[in-house]
Each structure stands twice: as structure tokens, then as C-alpha cells.
Amino acid sequence: MEDLEDIASHFYEDFEKRAHNFREFYRKLKNYLQTDILEDRELSEEFADILRRVLMRLEEVDHGIDQKARK
């Protein structure tokens, strides 16, 4: 349970500094899933495929945030 609390604190710490900091939240989440889960752990092919699809979606969200920020 403490591990989960530490992870949640890591992802949400930027919201304490600046409200609605979704860009940094998504980037941290994407990085965590990519490096700490997908690359560092032995996963079933089915679960790895799910993670890859989640990462693709996070990439789309990140690009959407960047486009809105430019307007």
C-alpha cells in the first residue's frame, strides 16, 4: 500500500505546484509505464500489448495538449 501511495504522490506532486498540470502528469505516467513496467518486468504478451496501446493513447493526449497550448 505504501508503494501505491508513493507512486500516486509522484504523479500528482505537480498539481500541488500548479493546478491542472496535466501535461506533466501524462508525461510522468507515460515514462513510468514505459520504463518501470514495460521494459523492466516480465509481462505476458497480452498485458504488454495493453500497455503499448495505453502508451499510444497517452502520446495522442500529450500531442492534443501541446496543440491546445499553441492556440
pLDDT digits (tens, 9 = 90+) for 10-42: 777 777 777 666 777 788 888 888 998 888 888
Q: Are 23 and 61 in contact (CB under 8 A)?
A: no
Query: Taking the model in full, what pTM does it have?
Result: 0.66
| Residue 26, number of CB atoms within 10 A of its CB | 19
Number of domains composing the chain: 1
Residues spanned by the domain of 38: 2-70
Residue 67: is its pLDDT beyond 80? no
Nearest CA to 29 out of 42, 10, 45 is that of: 10
Q: Are 45 and 70 in contact (CB under 8 A)?
A: no
* Amino acid making up residue 22: F
Q: Are 10 and 28 in contact (CB under 8 A)?
A: yes
